[in-house]
Amino acid sequence: MSTANREPARPAAGRAGIKKELPDRFKDYRHVWVFIELERGQVHPVSFELLGEGRKLADKLGVQLAGVVLGPPGEATWYAVAEAFAYGADLVYIAEAPLLADYRNEPFTKVMTDLVDTHKPEILLLGATTLGRDLAGSVATTLQTGLTADCTELDVDTDGSLAATRPTFGGSLLCTIYTLNYRPQMATVRARVMPMPQRTDKPVGRIIQHKVSLAEDEIVTKVLGFLPDSQSAKANLAYADVVVAGGLGLGAAENLQLVKNLARAIGAEHGCSRPLVQKGWMPADRQIGQTGKTIRPKLYIAAGISGAIQHRVGVEGADLIVAINTDPTAPIFDFAHLGIVTDAIRFLPALTEAFTRRLSPHSRDKLAS
């Protein structure tokens, strides 16, 4: 970043207000920050994925990578600090207070904006979780800066600006968005879009403690209780190693059983494309794609899914994509690794049976004998 450039700010160039010169008040904004999402003692894995991505950005910019941990005093909060170092943070800002025990917008926004005003990061990344989106929106509005939601790619331009790429128009196109004249440059990224970085047993680095100057009686909204999801309601799609999903090609709601059968046979999670949720054939938490979950399994089997771009952005991170579809021109064959042009309704039972045969220990005994 050039420091010698002290010309007065030039007027906006063109309609989009793109200026070359960053206003003076932002010139000392430096370093990349990742918000470490801690809720009920658990760090959301997206925070580690973001540290991996933040590391790359910080290295390109030649600046430090910091984690930001907000939580109640105690072990879980300090565990989050240690984990932030293990996943690549150079330093961690920590704010501890009992009123940060459960997520509430008001105290989290206050503490986060205080931290930004005090330590001035140039980039601030958050997970596009319910918590991250709730917080990012109010922090960006308070700081009057730009926020790019649900990015699928982050990079640093030659001039040091953050280039945040995200799907637009329901995922039909991608666009790259810049926040040129304001700091910090903020972005949220969904879970599983970025790969999980290697964990290292890095010794704890520099820790900067931030005093929370806020009392419980100043906070309007109170948490009355928390009801965890029952185990059965929890669809662990985003972090599943194997996923089988069905689309409109299955023709009828009852044929989804074929997807579930295959999933059960190979120990996979099951999901679906958006139209099935819209038809009410499957609950929304099973939806895969731009408006649903992003997945990164080792194996993804898509049955009767045509592969509209909004579905594609949700599965691109899979190691191996297998498509079953009757239409040889379906877009899914453009990004699948293996394809079979056939009717999923007839093929799924055969595939389930073949998998069972191949994976069954008995058939191995037979082969061995």
Instruction: State which of positions 90-119 bind other proteins (CB under 8 A).
Output: 102-106, 109
In one-letter notation, the amino acid at residue 258 is L
Q: How many residues interact with other proteins (rule CB under 8 A)?
A: 106
CB 49 within 8 A of CB 10: no
Q: Which of residues 305, 336, 344, 345 is near other proteins by CB under 8 A?
A: 336
Residue 296, marked binder: no
**In angstroms, what is the minimal distance from the CB of 123 to other proteins?**
14
Whether the link from the prior residue into 73 is cis, omega within 30° of 0, is: no
Side-chain-side CA neighbours of residue 199 (13 Å): 8
Q: Least separation, in Å, of the C-beta of 257 and other proteins?
A: 18
Among 50, 124, 256, 351, binds other proteins (CB under 8 A): 351
CB of 296 to other proteins, least distance (A): 14
Query: In the bound complex, what is the minimum distance in angstroms from residue 319's beta carbon to other proteins?
Result: 7
Nearer of residues 54 and 307 to other proteins, judged by Cβ: 307
Q: How far is CA 70 from CA 94, 112, 134, 213, 264, in A?
A: 6, 8, 15, 13, 39
State the nearest-atom distance from the C-beta of 67 to other proteins, in Å: 19
Binding mask 41-70 for other proteins (x = CB under 8 A): -x-x--------------------------
Any idea what DSSP says for residue 180? -
Binding segment (CB under 8 A) for other proteins, from list 52-60, 72-80, 200-208, 334-342 = 334-342
Considering the complex, what minimum distance in angstroms separates the CB of residue 181 from other proteins? 7
Shortest approach of other proteins to residue 300 CB, angstroms?
Answer: 11
Stretch that binds other proteins, among 62-70, 144-152, 202-210, 253-261 (CB under 8 A): 144-152
- The C-alpha atoms of residue 291 and residue 305 are separated, in whole angstroms, by 16
- The reply, when asked if residue 311 is annotated as ligand binding, is yes
Q: How many C-beta atoms surround the C-beta of residue 231 within 10 A?
A: 7
Ligand-binding annotation for 207, yes or no, is: no
- For residues 54, 143, 210 and 44, what is the CA-based torsion angle, rounded to 10 degrees? -40
Q: Which is nearer to other proteins, 65 or 301 (CB)?
A: 301
**Amino acid identity for residue 352 in this structure:** T
How many residues comprise the chain? 369
Which among 71-79, 92-100, 135-143, 252-260 is the span making contact with other proteins, rule CB under 8 A? 135-143
User: If we measure between CA atoms, which residue out of 243, 219, 353 comes closest to residue 303?
Assistant: 243
Is residue 149 a contact residue for other proteins (CB under 8 A)? yes
SS3 118: helix
Query: Does 219 belong to an annotated binding site?
Result: no
Pick from 217, 185, 184: which is nearest to 107 by CA?
Answer: 217
Among 64, 142, 255, 261, binds other proteins (CB under 8 A): 142
Which residues between 209 and 248 bind other proteins (CB under 8 A)?
A: 220-229, 234, 241-242
Residue that the structure tokens 């459960």 belong to: 102
The DSSP line for 294-355 is: ----SEEEEES----HHHHHHHTT-SEEEEEES-TT-THHHH-SEEEES-HHHHHHHHHHHH
Residues 154-173 that bind other proteins (CB under 8 A): 163, 167-170, 172-173
Decide: 331 and 306 in contact? Cβ < 8 Å. Answer: yes
Q: What is the smallest separation between the CB atom of 204 and other proteins, expressed in angstroms?
A: 27
3-class DSSP assignment, residue 190: coil
8 Å CB contact between 255 and 349: no
Of residues 159 and 209, the one with the C-beta less far from other proteins = 159
Q: Which of 85, 312, 315, 345 binds other proteins (CB under 8 A)?
A: 312
Check whether 274 is labelled as a binding-site residue: yes
Q: Which residues line the annotated binding site?
A: 273-274, 287-291, 304-311, 325
